[in-house]
């Protein structure tokens, strides 16, 4: 799928219209004062600087970790113990390779679920349309933004230094080449997931969600999906597909920084916020900072907060197999549509805490 600059503008406009049907929503925020193109660009420059700053990543992670404990009515403990500052822990190279290649799957699962909720369509119908290339460009752009968020969430687990690379930019600054890579991953994930869900075709949405939940928690399917998406990446680049795992990677481990993992674990809400702000800003009405302020102040409409919560679930999921593949088998690992109100409230608390800290940093 090719998206030129003009098509991206059309997609963003279509996305605004499509999101208008999301329930429930208040009358929304008051009309924001116009923001010049130069001011928007300056805000994106500042956001890009913060995204790439390991010092700010630590600051944000501390803020979100503390917000989690306060939300549970507990006093936040020190973010890092002295021994964690230099400690390492062995991590399976096989599991990391699987985790690296699951970003597109978790983006598809949460993004397609969001579209199914928004349009009141059966989940499998949405997945089939994505696999067949029949979803509107605006929906594919939305899924690409989910994919960018889940990709970002995985980078600090690999190494915190990876967030400082040139590729770590606000999603609005991705070019058509990068978007095509995301589209290829999303469609490959949809094709594989549809095939795995065939036994739920024609059944009600509860049955389809139950089947999806079983697949989400299946470590064998996770490796299958990761291998599929790894192959799709090489195929999309016109390159031969290498073996997914080398023999020596099957049982090998590599040392990983305990400090960096603790930071990575607590950045999911930040990357969800950044992606969601980008999606809302692409509708063309408000600047990133205006949206961030609204989230921090609790004045965004319910439709926006639902989008942000779904993104937070996606980024959280993307981090779990980096910690341990066994974590995806836990009861909390479920389709976003099956989350309880308490689960969603926790995501909202993380998003608002991230918005408060980001708004402060954007003005510094």
Q: What is the pLDDT of residues 19-69, one digit of tens each?
A: 433 333 344 445 567 788 899 999 999 999 999 999 999 999 999 999 999
pLDDT band at 114 (very low <50, low <70, confident <90, very high): very high
- Is the pLDDT reported for residue 18 higher than 90? no
Domain regions of the chain by residue span: 35-76+90-362
Q: What is the pLDDT of residues 55-106, one digit of tens each?
A: 999 999 999 999 999 999 999 999 999 999 999 999 999 999 999 999 999 9
HEC secondary structure over the chain: CCCCHHHHHHHHHHHHHHHCCCCCCCCCCCCCCCCCHHHHHHHHHHHHHHHCCHHHHHHHHHHHHHHHHHHCCCCCCCCCCHHHCCCEEEEEHHHHHHHHCCHHHHHHHHHHHHHHHHHCCCHHHHHHHHHHCCCCHHHHHHHHHHHHHHHHHHHHHHCHHHHHCCCCCCHHHCCHHHHHHHHHHHHHHHHHHHHHCHHHCCCCHHHHHHHHHHHHCCHHHHHHHHHHHHHHHHHHCCCCCCCCCCHHHCCCEEEEEHHHHHHHHCCHHHHHHHHHHHHHHCCCCCCHHHHHHHHHHCCCCHHHHHHHHHHHHHHHHHHHHHHCHHHHHCCCCCCHHHCCHHHHHHHHHHHHHHHHHHHHHHCC
**Mean pLDDT across the stretch 251-272?**
98
Q: Which of 351, 341, 364 is nearest to 295 (CA)?
A: 351
Compute the mean pLDDT over every residue in the chain, rounded to the nearest whole number: 92
Q: Which of 222, 259, 244 is nearest to 103 (CA)?
A: 222
pLDDT of residue 35: 80
Quick check: 288 and 172 in contact, CB under 8 A?
Answer: no
pLDDT of residue 36: 87
- Is the pLDDT reported for residue 116 higher than 80? yes
Can you tell me the distance from the alpha carbon of 307 to that of 297, in angstroms, rounded to the nearest whole number?
A: 17
Structure-token match 């993307």, residue found: 318
Buried b (16+ CB within 10 A) or exposed e, 63-100: bbbbbbeeeeeeeeeebbeeeeeeeeeebbbbbbbbbb
pLDDT band at 188 (very low <50, low <70, confident <90, very high): very high
**Mean pLDDT across the stretch 262-279?**
98
pLDDT of residue 283: 83
Q: Which of 282, 333, 258 is nearest to 79 (CA)?
A: 258
Can you tell me the distance from the alpha carbon of 3 to that of 6, in angstroms, rounded to the nearest whole number?
A: 8
Can you tell me the distance from the alpha carbon of 49 to that of 265, in angstroms, rounded to the nearest whole number?
A: 21
Quick check: 14 and 292 in contact, CB under 8 A?
Answer: no
**Mean pLDDT across the stretch 192-212?**
96
Question: How many CB atoms neighbour CB 157 within 10 A?
Answer: 25
Q: Which of 150, 227, 155 is nearest to 182 (CA)?
A: 150
- Is the pLDDT reported for residue 249 higher than 70? yes
Rg of the chain over all Cα atoms, to the nearest angstrom: 20
Q: What is the dihedral of CA 350, 354, 355, 361, to 10 degrees?
A: 170
pLDDT of residue 174: 94
Strand duo 253-257 + 88-92: pairing: antiparallel
pLDDT of residue 30: 55
């Amino acid at each position: 799928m090719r998206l030129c600059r003009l098509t991206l503008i059309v997609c963003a406009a279509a996305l605004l219209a499509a999101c208008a049907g999301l329930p429930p929503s208040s009358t929304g925020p008051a009309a924001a004062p116009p923001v010049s193109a130069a001011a928007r660009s300056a805000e994106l420059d500042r956001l890009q600087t913060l995204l790439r700053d390991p010092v700010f990543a630590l600051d944000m992670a501390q803020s979100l970790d503390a917000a989690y404990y306060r939300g549970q009515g507990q006093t936040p403990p020190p973010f890092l113990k002295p021994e964690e500052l230099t400690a390492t822990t062995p991590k399976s190279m096989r599991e990391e390779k699987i985790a690296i290649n699951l970003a597109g799957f978790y983006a598809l699962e949460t993004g397609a679920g969001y579209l199914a909720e928004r349009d009141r369509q059966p989940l499998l119908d949405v997945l089939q349309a994505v696999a067949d290339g029949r979803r509107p460009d605006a929906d594919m752009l939305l899924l690409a933004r989910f994919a960018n968020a889940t990709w970002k969430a995985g980078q600090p687990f690999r190494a915190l230094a990876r967030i400082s690379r040139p590729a770590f930019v606000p999603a609005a600054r991705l070019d058509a080449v990068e978007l095509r890579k995301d589209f290829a991953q999303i469609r490959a994930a949809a094709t594989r997931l549809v095939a795995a869900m065939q036994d739920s075709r024609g059944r009600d949405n509860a049955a389809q969600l139950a089947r999806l939940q079983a697949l989400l928690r299946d470590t064998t399917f996770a490796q299958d999906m990761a291998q599929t998406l790894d192959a799709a990446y090489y195929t999309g680049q016109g390159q031969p597909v290498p073996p997914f795992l080398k023999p020596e990677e099957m049982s090998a481990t590599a040392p990983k920084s305990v400090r960096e993992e603790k930071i990575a674990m607590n950045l999911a809400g930040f990357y969800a916020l950044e992606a969601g702000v980008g999606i809302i800003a692409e509708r063309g009405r408000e600047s990133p900072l205006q949206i961030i302020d609204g989230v921090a102040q609790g004045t965004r409409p319910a439709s926006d907060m639902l989008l942000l919560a779904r993104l937070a679930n996606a980024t959280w999921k993307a981090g779990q197999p980096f910690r341990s593949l066994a974590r995806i088998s836990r009861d909390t690992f479920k389709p976003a549509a099956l989350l309880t109100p308490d689960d969603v409230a926790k995501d909202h608390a993380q998003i608002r805490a991230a918005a408060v800290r980001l708004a402060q940093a954007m003005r510094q």
